[in-house]
Amino acid sequence: MRARVLLAWVRSPGESGDFSGTEFSAGTGLFGGATFSGGIVDFTGATFSGGEIRFSRARFSGGTVDFSIPSDWSVPPAFPWLDTPPSGVRLPKKDGRSQT
């Protein structure tokens, strides 16, 4: 049986969020419809090792969303962009090159 979890995160614009060390390893987590418009959202040390984490319909319009130093990136989240992430989104380095 697969679990499906809607990750509801309500914050004021410019406020920071801390998901550092969070383990996303089973089930489905949805950040769909979330707006990242200011402040810093930190995923440092987070584990993306299983399940399905989706940021579909999420808006990245300011601030910093930092995925650059995960503990595990073997099953990365699904993002709404096809190639280059929006300004302020930091992804792990791939082949020695930054993906920001």
Domain boundaries, the chain: 4-90
d(CA 39, CA 97): 25
Q: Kindly list the distances between the CA atom of residue 24 and the CA atoms of 36, 73, 85, 95, 98, in Å, as whole numbers in the listed order.
A: 19, 10, 21, 24, 23
With cut-offs at 50, 70 and 90, classify the pLDDT of residue 1.
very low
10 CA to centre of own chain:
15
User: Is pLDDT above 80 for 10?
Assistant: no
What single letter denotes the amino acid at residue 43?
Answer: F
What is the pTM for the complete model shown?
A: 0.78
Q: Which of the residue ranges 3-7, 18-22, 69-73, 83-87 would you say has the lowest mean pLDDT?
A: 3-7
pLDDT of residue 91: 96
Q: CB burial class (10 A; 0-12, 13-18, 19+) of residue 81?
A: exposed
